[in-house]
Amino acid sequence: MKINTINELLLCIMTTLSQTKEIFRRADAVCFDVDSTVIREEGIDELAKFCGVGDAVTEMTRKAMGGSVSFKTALTERLSIIRCSREQVNKLITDHPPQLTAGIKELVDTLHQHNVKVFLISGGFRCIVEHVATQLNIPLHHVYANRLKFYFNGEYAGFDETQPTAESNGKGKVISMLKEKHGFKNVVMIGDGATDLEACPPANAFIGFGGNVIRQQVKERSVWYVTSFGELLKELEKI
């Protein structure tokens, strides 16, 4: 492990609650996880239910989010069970659109008013996440998520394994790229799962979110853990 990586890790671990809040107030970019954070459900679980294989996939999601299996392994196994067609994905979005978590619209609007760049970094599927981004007025080029692949007849053909979000540490790779590309000094990652927590570093701060589901490992390791986006809005009022 490189010295600067070790120093970044120590900074993330040793950051106090007040320092984390200050980084959030001074953030030039805020990155949100999507499933069970920005939206109330896990997109892959909803897709599995829609395709009639909900129970088997929900258990795999719980293991992936808890960090007990690698994200890529869990994603591959879940999709091999679901094997959704393009038509099924489109019908899911039309019939059961993702439900925004209470307060997220106001929070994103407020961040935008403060000229903070907002990104969605998800281990879910781009076709669903883009729908969420549009609802929140987040530019589609600020969306990083996995791409499903389909054959010409619309049948499932796998997923794009080259996307960084398909990897366990993929969210951190995206944040590193964003910092290098845009020169961001203070990047905050907000999410409910293990893959979100692992993104700090390179994120300068992590805020655990338990408004939809509480993952004990994440709660215990978060310096700042919130169960409502209202808590973050209150912090922004101090600016």
Query: 31 has which bridge partners?
Result: 119, 189
- CA nearest to 56, candidates 79, 73, 90, 40: 79
Annotate 20-61 with DSSP letters as a single string: HHHHHHT-SEEEE-TBTTTBSS-HHHHHHHHTT-HHHHHHHH
Catalytic residue numbers, as ranges: 33, 35
Residues 6+ apart with CB under 8 A from 66: 194, 215, 217
Cβ pair 174, 164 in contact under 8 A: yes
Q: 12: part of which helix (H) or strand (E)?
A: helix 3-14
